[in-house]
Structure 1
Amino acid sequence: MPRRTATMLASTLMLIALLCAGVLIPVPYAEMSPGPTVNTLAEHDGEPVLQISGHKTYPTDGHLNMTTVRVTSAEYRMNLVEAVYGWLAHDSKIVPHDTLYPDGKTEEQSTQENAEEFSQSQESAKVAALKELGIPVKSWVIVSTVVKDSPAEGRLHAGDVIKAVDGTAVKQPSDVAKLVTRHKPGQKTVFTVVPAKEQAAAEKANRTATKTQDVTITTATSDDSGAKRAVVGISAGTDHTFPFTIDIKLADVGGPSAGLMFALGIYDKLTPGSLTGGTFVAGTGTIDDNGTVGPIGGIEMKTVGAREKGARYFLTPADNCASAAKDTPGGLTLVKVKDIGDALDALKDIRSGNTADLPKCTTKG
């Protein structure tokens, strides 16, 4: 066999071997890509995304789109060829698998966590919108979850209202951990609570729950990676009573990042006129009860998805601005927002055409 032919054959076989290896060898990466974007002012799958009853609402127009990111599943094992293709593609991002699924988190665990965050973001969006409108919302601290086999299991229950710990009134969820960690592991702490059933009955009867009980729990030692401290095995959260009904109908979406856009959609429906002036505005960002907007993941994928659907302006959490501005899709203006007030001010400028004054994102923030 001529040397040239042998060299070509060997090279071809080597190339085939490398391609096979690239397809067969898994790599520890996952892929993020633009997901669906949904107009919070419109319908999705045949029904309005925002449904409000018991309070006057007003017609809306334009778009206030929430955006999402599509990710590969926890069980999916990407091969080298797919990873290289993803790195080269403009509309996807390859990240370490542990970034999306830390500590060996399963698909089921991730889905459950995302569902809980999505539910909480809806509640915070409602509270933030109503507070901005000056509509009172009743709030209280509750037991959000109870850890299995913890000291609190069987003694405290999800939905119990936490009135005090060791006689000190609880005003916000963070108070609970602060009061418990005053103890040393093994010491007793006393929770004063309104049982969940009593609270539910009071809400149904439109009255204030007054029946409380003291629950004594012996603290244990924390087993996480932080400093050792006293714990009882619960997470505290906030529950609310709204003066009218606000339902958010959007299935197959998880995580907290739609909070800002839900809040703006609610605000728009409860006020005369149009927030957008008919303009296509999209955005993202977590929101807390006070209207503060927080950063999210996958910002680059969300801006791509929004622009592909026709968005002209993108409301961007201030802490995501620098990253988003590094690769802004053509024709899309990134608007920096720190809270719901910033977002409403930006929308006022957009609908009036005074866009020169918009606080735009830059690569410096």
Structure 2
Amino acid sequence: MTDRVFNYCAGPSTLPLPVLEKAKAELLSWRGEGLSVMEMNHRGPLFSQILAEAKADFAKLLSIPDTHAILFMQGGATAQFAAVPMNLLGDKGKADYIVSGNFSKIAAAEAEKYCKVNIIASSADRDFTYIPKAEDLRPDPDAAYMHYCSNNTVFGTAFSYIPESGDVPLVADMSSEILSKPVPVSRYGLIYGGAQKNIGPAGVTFLILDKSLLGKAMDITPTQLNYSLTEEKDSLWNTPPTFSIYMLGLTLKWLIAEGGVEEMAKRKKERSRVIYDLIDNSSFYTPRAEVAARSDMNICFKTPSAELDQLFIKTARAKGLFNLHGHKVAGGLRASLYNAMTMEGTYALAEFMKEFERENV
């Protein structure tokens, strides 16, 4: 077997090795039942157990109250950019959006198809290198909801605070930082995201939804995107991404065994500190995000030239350090240090960065 590389991809991202090994061991026969998860009847007792355990473990990790439902859907966070307004607008025709990066910008543009969008703050004026300050937000008390993206994978920024929305439901796209730290779920009307960045493979979208927001879907809402129907049918309106949910479930069990979100919060700070300290003490590497807005999950930076950026990517790959290219919108370089990234992988990147600088100054 070829040695595994270190994968710094923003998504689909690296998975915990114990999770992959467990999936490998159970691939042909899940828990000795004689069939693979991929072959299971999604409405049968075996997959029902997998689904129930995944929801229970999710609830345990984030202390999700009974007021909130856990839903598994498809289409990624991108589908939710349309699903959110279609399900939450109710009789209101406007919603507040904080535009702090690429995906919140796309989410706001999608919502404009269904309602009036109030951009209550934006960091586009400085190319999304910072997060708008809490005191600069201008929320509308009559909005149906307030939406923001808590961690911006493209530009490497993250909110250090929870926006205050008053009586307006707060909605957060947490695709790239879910389960990396404790979250006061009761403060949110909806938390959603794609699993493929921090808690599993591509194919499944998670939602943590305040049940009081159910029953507001617009008539034009596709059945597949209807929250009330999804909740009523226990995320089984149609055939769900069974194997992706199974893998997500294994990842949740791994997180619990490793110490939960409190331990993940500690580890992410340790990982990011290694790389940011190196960048800050270098005249060769330049960070993209302002210090106060830096993401612990996605570190975006660059070398003195685009040509050196490409050489960095090529040379790193040859040494087993994969997917260090920046997003096509931002360019440059990016190291995604999600929950499954080890300190070994973090130090390997740091050593390579030092070596590359020495050879190219």
Q: Normalised by the shorter chain, which TM-score bucket?
A: under 0.3
TM-score (norm 1): 0.25
Structure with the larger helix share: 2
Larger Rg belongs to: 1
Give the TM-score normalised by the residue count of structure 2. 0.26
Which structure features the higher share of strand residues? Answer: 1
